[in-house]
Chains A and B, each alone.
Chain A
Amino acid sequence: MILTTGVACALLVGSFLLLVILRVPVAFALGIATIPVVLLDIRLTPFIIIDRMFQSYNSFILLAVPFFLLAANLMNSGKITDKLIDLARVLTGWMPGGLGHVNVAVSMLFAGISGSSTADAAGCGKILIPSMIKEGYDTRFAIAITACSSVMGVIIPPSILMIVWGGVMQVSVGALFLAGAIPGLMIGFALMATVYGYAKVYNYPIAMKPTFGTAFKAFKGAALAMLTPVFVIYGIVAGIVTPTESAIIAAFYSLFLGMVVYRTVTPREVGTILYDTGRFASISLFAIGTASVFGWLLAYYNVPRLIISVMTNMELGTIGTSLVIAFLFLFFGLFIDAIPTIIILGTVLLPVALQADISPIVFAIIGIISLAFGLVTPPYGLCLLISASIGGMNVVKVLKEVVIILIPMLLILLLIILFPEIALWLPNQLMPGSVK
């Protein structure tokens, strides 16, 4: 038989949700959920499912994922993360709720070096969550703040998501990098304000009062690591490498720091790091495959077309459309990974955005920030899952904290929608040619 849009959509989404509730791993749930539809509809075959999945790996841009992850893992094992934490302590540890601020600040530093949020949640979380618990912070708060602050990894440049977005939708990656900087910092400050509020309510302690000596040592220790973004962004802006290739600069530089400068990484450890990178990268890349199949089937049954026609009919204007776009990305981010969402939803919404006079760069930033928030929203929020497993707690138990911390972040997103200049200002100043 031939399924209608409604039946197919209900079958797909329904079986997916059922499978997730049964605790089938999300990557497999996305794949298994397509089976009923494929069996029922005579036009589809398992072959097509396999092909859709397989072909989604056939993209050069996706190489940025393992490379940036490799760089971040090298930094985590090379104690570079520790040096960033030392710097963050000196910078923010003296405030009430010290370790909470350190957690946010180190994510900002880490974000400036790495293109990946998950590596931040894993690397910094492993150190900071236990020490926060030890100093009397509520475990739920420690997990939630680690997860929420890690989302800056893909908002503050460099960013894997921006590389993929720029490649898929023909936007200058350099301009996206610049456009993400100010919103990313604003989210960081909003998070610190939240931490301050928590510290006042729950009487959380300060972490340390820096002396001139400790401060100098911390800056010196982190200085070389902080050069990474200079290399990566310079490499792209100066036209030495393409954005995807820039990821290997980050990886090589981290390797150089770990093996030659700090001598904290032995050749044997490199093997372990390569394995860890491969394992973790492939877990999320595998999900990109099954999510692509799922998205392809939704498209096959005309679901995106329906969304567009509804949206264009509503004639929402610039701000209204931006809000709906943000909502759609946030909603998709609940269930699937950011990269397949960019490929499935981003391309569908681009014409809608252009029609509503939203600049492609602002559209990208709204999309990427919304998707970044998806990293901490269950059922499928990788950063939250990682932090929760470090803290040894069920995701459901930290939901309330996550919501509280997310609210100020959502307000920043709203500000960017209302005043797109926040995102556009920096690229306008530095790369006026690429903002049109």
Chain B
Amino acid sequence: ETLRGASMFDDKHTFTKTMVKFADLVNEYYDGDVKFDLRLNGELGVEKDYVTFLNQGVAIDYTILAPSNMARFAPSIPLMDMPFLFRDLDHWNTVLSSDILAPLEKELSEKADIVIVGYAGGGTRNLLSSKPIMNMKELEGHKMRVMGAPIQAQIFDAIGASPSAIAYNEVYNAIQTGVINGFENEAASIQNLKFYEVAPNVTLTSHTITVRPIVFSGKSFRKLPEKLQAAIKKAGKEAGAYGRELESREDGIKLKEMVDAGQIKVSEFEGREKLLDMVKPVQDKFAAGINATELLGAIRATK
């Protein structure tokens, strides 16, 4: 049995390392013969394509995905990495180690035939801009690019920024020339894609701590022997925990590397707590729209 995986990144990226760990763990927990073929560097496409492959059970069997890529199938999935959902890393880790997100897993499995076997992630998303954005006043009307989901735009709109429609691969040029003044992202992307060259000011809003499910194609999964399925689920959970620890640690290191290299200037946001209040109505409305009010409540109530 050969299981095929895909990563958009090279072998140094935490997603890749997490998937390698996942393969090792499956081999450890499963007695039978199973091989892994992991394709790197976006050789097989981008994450959006992987979703299609998984849904159809072709080309690849497993990968790690940003939830927004699955929103086309299951509109409630973006709740997982909605901005200002988690208070801090501890809160985030507790939620992901529990079964709180099971309703989302169920919806994804029904609508997209994709099985979540674990949760990696751990990048902290901050504002990134050409001019410093350090307080409410500077945030007011700040022209920034947001990810392509309505909830993202609504949240940044609610805190006073002016979200803009720019394709991701035009962001670098758009900031450089001043079409927009910034966007939001995590340290790894800022470093890899050299966004610091055009937007060297990082404001620590920590609005999102990323959740990146380790996903398996439902069609491939059902074909596997039961024992292997069990091994995959167990390995997925543990690889997820490994990936979360690794990425949240590396995230801090990468940020510091860029500071030390003089590539970015980091500053706190004055009155971050206020942002949490401002976005609450938007979050509530979104949750109500996808019948997830209870789920949102449960996440917020988690200590």
> Is residue B300 within 8 Å, beta carbon to beta carbon, of the partner chain?
no
B181-219, CB < 8 A from A:
193-194, 197
> Is residue B45 within 8 Å, beta carbon to beta carbon, of the partner chain?
yes
CB-CB < 8 A to A305: which residues of B?
43
> Is residue A231 within 8 Å, beta carbon to beta carbon, of the partner chain?
no
CB-CB < 8 A to B27: which residues of A?
none
Min distance, Cβ B175 to any Cβ of chain A, angstroms: 9
Instruction: Please tell me if the beta carbons of B173 and A167 are within 8 angstroms of each other in the complex.
Output: yes
Complex: how many Å from CA A60 to CA B169?
A: 9
Instruction: Please tell me if the beta carbons of A242 and B49 are within 8 angstroms of each other in the complex.
Output: no
Instruction: Please tell me if the beta carbons of B173 and A166 are within 8 angstroms of each other in the complex.
Output: yes
Instruction: Please tell me if the beta carbons of B177 and A239 are within 8 angstroms of each other in the complex.
Output: yes
Which of B51-59, B74-82, B108-116 is the interface stretch?
A: B51-59
Instruction: Please tell me if the beta carbons of B172 and A170 are within 8 angstroms of each other in the complex.
Output: yes
> Is residue B167 within 8 Å, beta carbon to beta carbon, of the partner chain?
yes
CB-CB < 8 A to A61: which residues of B?
167, 169-170
> Is residue A244 within 8 Å, beta carbon to beta carbon, of the partner chain?
yes
> Is residue B42 within 8 Å, beta carbon to beta carbon, of the partner chain?
yes
> Is residue B253 within 8 Å, beta carbon to beta carbon, of the partner chain?
no
Min distance, Cβ B131 to any Cβ of chain A, angstroms: 13
> Is residue B285 within 8 Å, beta carbon to beta carbon, of the partner chain?
no
CB-CB < 8 A to B172: which residues of A?
170, 172
> Is residue A357 within 8 Å, beta carbon to beta carbon, of the partner chain?
no
A304 with B179: in contact, given A48-B59, A61-B169, A243-B170 (CB under 8 Å)? Answer: no
CB-CB < 8 A to B170: which residues of A?
60-61, 167, 242-244
Instruction: Please tell me if the beta carbons of B56 and A47 are within 8 angstroms of each other in the complex.
Output: yes
> Is residue A252 within 8 Å, beta carbon to beta carbon, of the partner chain?
no
CB-CB < 8 A to A55: which residues of B?
45, 48-49, 52
> Is residue A44 within 8 Å, beta carbon to beta carbon, of the partner chain?
yes
Complex: how many Å from CA A169 to CA B48?
A: 18
Contacting B58 at CB < 8 Å: which of A43, A60, A239?
A43
> Is residue B178 within 8 Å, beta carbon to beta carbon, of the partner chain?
yes
Most A C-beta atoms less than 10 A away, residue of B56, B173, B197: B173
CB-CB < 8 A to A44: which residues of B?
58-59
Most A C-beta atoms less than 10 A away, residue of B44, B53, B59, B197: B59
Which B residue's beta carbon lies closest to that of A308? Answer: B41
> Is residue B93 within 8 Å, beta carbon to beta carbon, of the partner chain?
no
CB-CB < 8 A to B295: which residues of A?
none
Instruction: Please tell me if the beta carbons of B179 and A241 are within 8 angstroms of each other in the complex.
Output: yes
Instruction: Please tell me if the beta carbons of B194 and A170 are within 8 angstroms of each other in the complex.
Output: yes
Instruction: Please tell me if the beta carbons of B176 and A300 are within 8 angstroms of each other in the complex.
Output: no
Complex: how many Å from CA A434 to CA B179?
A: 16
> Is residue A314 within 8 Å, beta carbon to beta carbon, of the partner chain?
no
CB-CB < 8 A to A240: which residues of B?
179
Min distance, Cβ B63 to any Cβ of chain A, angstroms: 15
CB-CB < 8 A to A238: which residues of B?
177-178
> Is residue B38 within 8 Å, beta carbon to beta carbon, of the partner chain?
no
Contact flags B115-158 to A (C-beta < 8 A → 1, else 0): 00000000000000000000000000000000000000000000
CB-CB < 8 A to B178: which residues of A?
238-239
Min distance, Cβ A160 to any Cβ of chain B, angstroms: 14
A219-243, CB < 8 A from B:
236-243
Contacting B53 at CB < 8 Å: which of A48, A174, A242, A434?
A48
Which A residue's beta carbon lies closest to that of B48? Answer: A55
Contact flags A34-52 to B (C-beta < 8 A → 1, else 0): 0000000001110110011
> Is residue B174 within 8 Å, beta carbon to beta carbon, of the partner chain?
yes
> Is residue A345 within 8 Å, beta carbon to beta carbon, of the partner chain?
no
Contact flags B53-76 to A (C-beta < 8 A → 1, else 0): 100101100000000000000000
Complex: how many Å from CA A157 to CA B169?
A: 20
Residues of A within 8 A of B (CB): 43-45, 47-48, 51-52, 55, 59-61, 166-168, 170, 172-174, 236-244, 296, 299-300, 304-305, 347, 433-434, 436
Can you name 19 A-B pairs with beta carbons within 8 Å?
A43-B4, A44-B58, A51-B49, A52-B45, A55-B45, A55-B48, A60-B170, A61-B170, A167-B167, A170-B194, A174-B176, A174-B177, A238-B177, A238-B178, A239-B176, A244-B167, A300-B43, A434-B176, A436-B197
Besides A166-B173, A434-B197, 14 other A-B contacts (C-beta < 8 A): A44-B58, A47-B56, A47-B58, A61-B167, A167-B167, A167-B170, A238-B177, A239-B174, A242-B167, A242-B173, A242-B174, A242-B179, A300-B59, A433-B176
4 pairs of A and B residues whose beta carbons are closest in the complex: A239-B178, A239-B177, A60-B167, A167-B169
